[in-house]
Amino acid sequence: GSGIESIHTYFYGFFSALIKLPASYSAGVVTAFYISNYDTFPHNHDEVDFEFLGVAAGTPYLLQTNIYGDGSAKGREERINLWFDATADFHRYSILWNSYQLVFFIDDIPIRRMARSGELGHQYPSKPMKAYSSIWDGSNWATDGGHSPVNYAYGPFVASFTDLKLQGCEEGSICSDQQNEISSIRDLTEQQKNDLAWVRENHLTYTYCNDRQRYPIPFPECS
């Protein structure tokens, strides 16, 4: 595997990249784009993930998103089926993170939103983070629950990244007007709310809020 790490650390911001995923057979291969502060806060880190789970040829990619706050051992995983061929061309994947909300976007369409609330407390990501991208062997879990491991006969597995945008308040610097504008976005527009509802009605395949086997006591925000 391999990875990329941003030079700067950001406290809130907008993180975005055009990504094209490995083509053909990629079972077991995980391509990721995420923000995290694990290196700085190994015992109470925050993390916000896009994780693209490899597939057999001809099968649509599954996208897993995840949110960790303050070192919570419980992942807030959700999965959606992508409604396009993510291997044929680049698509933009973005994270908006500020003190009001955390939103995942695909091509400017919101696919998931977490609003900051009192119930979340410290489990809302709230410490400065770096941006990362990586591709790695997730044979033990990524595809069919680990029943379809990486087959290196189909390699190399190539994930392409371009047009990276890191727009946030760099730690230790004075925030620009653009960065302050990102920090002031409190909610989605009406069109974005409609788009989010469409994604969740038609493409959501798993959410931690409905998983009573793993989480018999629901997370506070799930109520």
Active-site annotation, residues: 47, 51
List the structure tokens of 197. Answer: 């509802």
Which residues have CB under 8 Å from 26's CB, separation 6+?
54, 55, 154, 157
| CA–CA distance, 108 with 98 (Å, rounded to integer) | 17
Q: Which residue type, as a one-letter code, is found at position 116?
A: R
Tell me if residue 99 falls in helix, strand or coil: coil
| CA–CA distance, 130 with 8 (Å, rounded to integer) | 6
| CA–CA distance, 128 with 166 (Å, rounded to integer) | 13
**Burial tier of 92 (Cβ tally within 10 Å: 0-12, 13-18, 19+):** middle
Q: Which residue type, as a one-letter code, is found at position 43?
A: H
